[in-house]
Amino acid sequence: MRDTIPADPDHFEVNEINRVRRVHDRGRYDKATIHAFLDAAVACHIAYTIDGRPYCTPTAFWREGDHLYWHGSSASRAIRNQNKGLPVCLTVTHVDALVMARSGFHHSINYRCVMAFGTAHAITDRAEKLRLLDNFVDRIYPGRSKLIRHPNEQEFKATTLMGMEMETVSGKIRDKHVADEEEDYEAVPAWSALYPITQVIGEPSDCARQLPGLTRPDEMADFVPGTRLDELMTKTYRKTFGE
Amino acid sequence: MRDTIPADPDHFEVNEINRVRRVHDRGRYDKATIHAFLDAAVACHIAYTIDGRPYCTPTAFWREGDHLYWHGSSASRAIRNQNKGLPVCLTVTHVDALVMARSGFHHSINYRCVMAFGTAHAITDRAEKLRLLDNFVDRIYPGRSKLIRHPNEQEFKATTLMGMEMETVSGKIRDKHVADEEEDYEAVPAWSALYPITQVIGEPSDCARQLPGLTRPDEMADFVPGTRLDELMTKTYRKTFGE
């Protein structure tokens, strides 16, 4: 897919696959922005094709460098097919606001999203897979892999860890307020506003079989009820992988 | 795709496309559940294939009966290709909780999701398209189509409205607390808990060019800052389309 080494290591190359065509000023190709959108998320949607039919599956994922990782049951249809080396599109979306306008045409949603194209493959090296499975837990809950029981042989085999290099990527963002046709501001007496939307974590609910004396580990100090999930996931990501 | 009329009109038929294989007790096929998951959402991800390459695009959508609708720029690559009658998978996901366990294997996310398979087509009938575009606005903001300027000819042509019959559908849900291997509850001294995740609307921010005297319409009384988006969208949906 990539014929040449990109001239700028801080940007993804723009090509016919990833070029943002509609409202192209919303397009983003710089790695700093794309990494920020990805690392603020815990879940994505992955598109893949089996027997000519497209599927769109939600799953948890994370990024390391220019690679994205996710996992699944070794027996699942999706994973068995991706395992063969399947082209996929992994998309991450943050919904940031509902935007009401004075015409239907200008109603909108503020969002940040990334579409990453690559070829999925299974991670088969044992040590690498174990290391990545630990990172998968720590990326959400810093330091947690050291506290929990490690995978037994059955669990290890039952889990397929998938990865892909981000071969072609685009980010897209709308972060504007109401934007109407000039004549509509005066002519249309409709109350128009923007409602921010955030995803937040609530109060933790302890496992009913918690051993006595256990409390939230210090490394999870950022898990404060009411915290935005995107901001929390950015913090936990950096705690685990650095800036 | 459907060879026979389903025996039960309240359920989607289960076949090789939509059968939930992994953790199959999480599968849902009854229309009441699937409609509830869909109507609580404002956005979805749509998978489609162009030249053998899968794409996964986030977009706003809504349901009427067994049909799903979304829109896009008539000039966009995604819409131009779907327009031809393209198989798509439209997926809606609600992330409900992060679930920490005593092994990596049992860490999980609570979620509700729907995967709907069908063939996308453009709505070309003028009256039908106008009616649906109004519903698209009202589905989020009840009664708003009566307050705003209607599409002019240029906007009408620039917008392609897409629809599909849900030919094959599955829902899937995880709504459990921590579920560990029996021996791990005692053996692993790791604090384990569930963090609920909700998407909420915040305080509205008025358009800077609001005409004097305008306030939130009575039909939007459910837009109370702090309200969960899924509960709000369920209410606005029912206000517009009935129960």
pLDDT per position as a tens digit, B93-134: 999 999 999 999 999 999 999 999 999 999 999 999 999 999
d(CA B180, CA B106): 6
Rounded percentage of chain B residues whose pLDDT exceeds 70: 97
Reply yes or no on whether the pLDDT at B18 is more than 60: yes
Please report residues of B whose CB lies closer than 8 A to that of A178: 207, 209
Reply yes or no on whether the pLDDT at B19 is more than 90: no
Q: Name which residue leads in pLDDT, B7 or B180.
A: B180
Segment A48-62, tens digit of pLDDT: 999 889 999 999 999
The pLDDT of residue A79: 79
Q: Is residue A190 part of a domain?
A: yes
The pLDDT of residue B226: 98
Please say whether the dihedral angle defined by the alpha carbons of residues B82, B85, B89 and B94, taken in this order, is positive or negative.
positive
Instruction: For chain B, give the DSSP string.
Output: ---S--S-TTBPPP-TTT---TTGGGEE-BHHHHHHHHHT-SEEEEEEEETTEEEEEEEEEEEETTEEEEEEETT-HHHHHHTTTEEEEEEEEEEEEEE--SBGGG-EEEEEEEEEEEEEEE---HHHHHHHHHHHHHHHSTTGGGTSBPP-HHHHHHEEEEEEE--EEEEEEE-------TTHHHH-----EEEEEEEEE---EE-TTPPTT----GGGTT--TT-BHHHHHHHHHHHHH--
Q: Is residue A153 part of a domain?
A: yes
Structural domain containing residue B177: 24-241
The pLDDT of residue A1: 46
Interval A75-79 mean pLDDT: 78
Nearest C-alpha in A relative to B220: A191
Interval B20-26 mean pLDDT: 81
Cβ distance A103 to A187 under 8 Å?
no
Segment A209-231, tens digit of pLDDT: 999 999 999 999 999 999 999 99
The overall pTM is greater than 0.90:
yes
Please report residues of A whose CB lies closer than 8 A to that of B151: 103-105
CB atoms within 10 A of CB A213: 7
Q: Is residue A172 part of a domain?
A: yes
Residue A7 pLDDT level (bands cut at 50, 70, 90): low
Task: Tokens for B190, please give them.
Answer: 């790791």
What value does the mean pLDDT of chain A take? 93
Give Cα A211 to chain centroid, integer Å: 33
Please say whether the dihedral angle defined by the alpha carbons of residues B211, B212, B216 and B218, taken in this order, is positive or negative.
negative
Provide CB contacts within 8 A for B146, sequence distance 6+.
Answer: none
CA angle B208, B210, B215 (to 5 degrees): 125
Please report residues of B whose CB lies closer than 8 A to that of A147: 188-191
Residue B1 pLDDT level (bands cut at 50, 70, 90): very low
Reply yes or no on whether the pLDDT at A194 is more than 50: yes
d(CA B140, CA B220): 9
Task: Tokens for A42, please give them.
Answer: 């815990």
Rounded percentage of chain A residues whose pLDDT exceeds 90: 82
CATH number, domain with residue A117: 2.30.110.10
Which residue among A47, A72, A76 places its CB closest to the CB of B54? A47
Residue A6 pLDDT level (bands cut at 50, 70, 90): low
Q: Taking CB atoms and an 8 Å cut-off, how many pairs form between chains A and B?
A: 284
Q: Is residue A169 part of a domain?
A: yes
Segment A135-179, tens digit of pLDDT: 999 999 999 999 999 999 999 999 999 999 999 999 999 999 999
The interface pTM score, or ipTM, of the predicted complex is 0.94
The pLDDT of residue B2: 46
What value does the mean pLDDT of chain B take? 93
B9 Cα to chain A: minimum distance (Å): 25
User: Per mean pLDDT, which range of A160-174, B14-28, B33-47, B143-157 is the poorest?
Assistant: B14-28
d(CA A84, CA B227): 44
Convert A61-94 to b/e letters by CB count within 10 Å (16 or more is b): bbbeeeebbbbbebebbbbbbbbeebbbbbbbbb
Which residue among B89, B158, B185 places its CB closest to the CB of A56? B89
Task: Tokens for B40, please give them.
Answer: 């609580």
CB distance A87–B151 less than 8 Å?
no
Position A41, amino acid:
A
Q: Is residue B16 part of a domain?
A: no
Residue B6 pLDDT level (bands cut at 50, 70, 90): low
Q: Is residue B199 part of a domain?
A: yes
Please report residues of B whose CB lies closer than 8 A to that of A209: 178, 180, 185
Kindly state the DSSP code that residue A179 receives in the 8-state scheme.
-
Q: Is residue A211 part of a domain?
A: no
Residue A234 pLDDT level (bands cut at 50, 70, 90): very high
Interval B30-41 mean pLDDT: 97
CA angle A144, B198, B180 (to 5 degrees): 40
B32 Cα to chain A: minimum distance (Å): 21
Reply yes or no on whether the pLDDT at A2 is more than 50: no
The pLDDT of residue B99: 98
Number of domains in chain B: 1
The pLDDT of residue B173: 96
Which residue among B117, B196, B206 places its CB closest to the CB of A202? B196
Please report residues of B whose CB lies closer than 8 A to that of A161: none
The pLDDT of residue B7: 66
d(CA A226, CA A43): 19
Which residue among A56, A102, A150 places its CB closest to the CB of B47? A56
Give Cα A82 to chain centroid, integer Å: 18
Residue B228 dihedral angles phi and psi, to the nearest 5°: -65, 135
Interval B168-187 mean pLDDT: 97
Which residue among A144, A191, A208 places its CB closest to the CB of B210? A191
Which residue among A158, A207, A216 places its CB closest to the CB of B177? A207
Nearest C-alpha in A relative to B195: A204
CB distance A98–B190 less than 8 Å?
no
Residue ranges of the alpha helices (H) in chain A? Answer: 31-39, 77-83, 126-140, 153-158, 184-187, 229-241
CB distance A207–B199 less than 8 Å?
no
B153 Cα to chain A: minimum distance (Å): 11
Q: Is residue A215 part of a domain?
A: no
Q: Name which residue leads in pLDDT, A208 or A13.
A: A208
